[in-house]
């Protein structure tokens, strides 16, 4: 519609840019030579185009140029990021502090999700010629607003109940980075996180999380606190139109699956169960196995919007999105804490809240969640 309006006002100069996100951008001019910029409809796309195109033009017109440098910082990327492919990339990031300086964690997600934009501190602008950003590469981050350092950083698995825990503890400025359980342990090892949320199943013992300190070489560096249990299972559309009954059904030719990212607890659980079923090369046998999202709500959204027929997530989100739920297992969601951060007041408050009756009462109100006798107790360290 916007390009038609621009044509009526004067004309369209450019329709479509080689940039991600923001390809649908429209640039035009009125008959009396006024510039027109049509931003994309999705929140993240609109903000990125405003920051890299509209804002610089406005600043130049009004004679302000120094603010651009004042609103940038240098930080390191914790993981390799693929870019290039003939397009300029703008990547939203969250900023954490570590002994080695500032760390910029990419915020991945649908450009239509307002939450992606709401949790980002700024973005990285990558030219189209650059094919990737290397792990630990230093980059320039353009901030949306002056950077505020959080009192506590929690990196790891995504869990809706974690937000309730933070609210109950009054930890309003907590930096919560959802990258999956295994990446949370990596962040602890590199000193980039105070706490990691984790629900990783040991394929040999079928216990959750207790094997990870030794596996990561962190036996002397972390304490592991028991969290709570939650039920994960299969999400399907209301009334289960594809008649999904169990995990084997995701192998059917008529089923499209939405997966979690590699390193997440749900993905680890799935891969273990597929191996037990004798499934090799699941990316070749499951339609959508490579369709990855980072959160439980993103799985639910994909199923609710018909982009997938089935996904695995915590049962709670099935009620949020009006989906049917087929339980698979009850798992432990625990918290690994760096020992050198235990003296921080915010970390102390986090652990105290985990043990508190008020949090236990709140958790009982959430479907598919339960506390246990060990909740808040140290189980390793």
CA distance 126 to 340: 35
Q: Are 286 and 231 members of one domain?
A: yes
The pLDDT tens digits for 183-202 are: 999 999 999 999 999 999 99
CATH number of the domain that 197 lies in? Answer: 3.40.190.290
- What's the total number of domains in the chain? 3
57: left (phi over 0), alpha (psi -120 to 50) or beta: alpha
Q: Are 183 and 326 members of one domain?
A: yes
Q: Are 361 and 309 members of one domain?
A: yes
Residue 289 pLDDT: 97
Q: Which of 143, 167, 202 is the last residue of a domain?
A: 143
Residue pair 221/253 in contact by the 8 Å Cβ criterion: no
Q: Are 74 and 24 members of one domain?
A: no
Q: Which of 32, 47, 66 is the last residue of a domain?
A: 66
Residue 110 pLDDT: 67
Residue at 211 is within a domain: yes
CATH number of the domain that 82 lies in? Answer: 2.40.340.10
Q: Which of 143, 174, 193 is the last residue of a domain?
A: 143
Residue 80 pLDDT: 93
Q: Are 32 and 132 members of one domain?
A: no
The pLDDT tens digits for 62-118 are: 887 665 666 899 999 999 999 988 899 999 999 999 988 999 999 977 666 677 888
CATH number of the domain that 49 lies in? Answer: 3.40.980.10
- H helices of 141-259, in order, are 160-168, 181-189, 212-215
Residue 111 pLDDT: 65
Residue at 210 is within a domain: yes
Total count of residues recorded for the chain: 381
Residue 66 pLDDT: 60
> What contacts 244, CB < 8 A, 6 or more positions away?
234, 236, 250, 255, 309, 310, 326
Q: Are 114 and 38 members of one domain?
A: no
Q: Are 53 and 170 members of one domain?
A: no
Q: Are 175 and 319 members of one domain?
A: yes
CA distance 353 to 144: 32
Query: Which residues of the chain are under the pLDDT cut of 50?
Result: none
Residue 65 pLDDT: 67
Q: Are 269 and 356 members of one domain?
A: yes
Residue at 148 is within a domain: no
Provide the whole-model pTM: 0.89
Residue 325 pLDDT: 98
Q: Are 328 and 353 members of one domain?
A: yes
- Residue 52 structural domain: 2-66
Residue at 219 is within a domain: yes
Residue at 14 is within a domain: yes
Residue 317 pLDDT: 97
CA distance 127 to 89: 7
Q: Are 245 and 373 members of one domain?
A: yes
Q: Are 125 and 162 members of one domain?
A: no
């Amino acid at each position: 519609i916007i390009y038609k309006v621009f044509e009526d006002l004067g004309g369209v100069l450019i329709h479509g840019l080689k940039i991600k996100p923001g390809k649908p951008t429209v640039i035009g001019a009125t008959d009396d030579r006024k510039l027109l910029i049509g931003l994309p409809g999705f929140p993240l796309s609109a903000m990125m185009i405003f920051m890299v195109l509209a804002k610089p033009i406005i600043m130049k017109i009004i004679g302000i140029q120094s603010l651009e440098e004042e609103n940038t910082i240098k930080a390191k990327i914790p993981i390799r990021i693929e870019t290039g492919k003939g397009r300029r990339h703008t990547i939203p990031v969250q900023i954490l502090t570590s002994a080695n300086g500032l760390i910029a964690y990419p915020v991945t997600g649908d450009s239509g999700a307002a939450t992606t934009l709401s949790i980002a501190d700024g973005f990285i602008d990558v030219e189209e010629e650059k094919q990737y950003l290397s792990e630990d590469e230093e980059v320039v981050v353009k901030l949306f607003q002056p950077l505020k350092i959080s009192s506590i950083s929690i990196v790891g698995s995504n869990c809706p109940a974690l937000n309730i825990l933070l609210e109950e503890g009054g930890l309003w400025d907590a930096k919560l980075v959802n990258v999956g359980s295994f990446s949370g342990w990596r962040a602890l090892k590199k000193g980039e996180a105070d706490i990691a949320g984790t629900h990783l199943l040991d394929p040999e013992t079928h216990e959750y999380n207790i094997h990870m300190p030794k596996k990561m070489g962190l036996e002397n560096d972390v304490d592991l606190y028991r969290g709570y249990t939650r039920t994960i299972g299969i999400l399907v559309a209301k009334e289960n139109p594809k008649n999904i009954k169990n995990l084997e059904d995701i192998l059917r030719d008529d089923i499209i699956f939405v997966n979690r990212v590699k390193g997440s607890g749900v993905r680890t659980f799935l891969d273990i169960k597929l191996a037990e079923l004798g499934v090799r090369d699941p990316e070749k046998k499951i339609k959508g196995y490579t369709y990855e999202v980072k959160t439980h709500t993103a799985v639910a959204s994909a199923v609710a919007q018909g982009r997938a027929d089935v996904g695995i997530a915590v049962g709670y989100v099935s009620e949020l999105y009006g989906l049917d739920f087929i339980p698979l297992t009850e798992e432990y969601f625990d918290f690994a804490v760096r020992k050198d951060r235990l003296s921080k007041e915010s970390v102390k408050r986090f652990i105290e809240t985990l043990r508190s009756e008020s949090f236990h009462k709140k958790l009982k109100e959430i479907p598919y969640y339960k506390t246990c006798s060990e909740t808040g107790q140290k189980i390793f360290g």
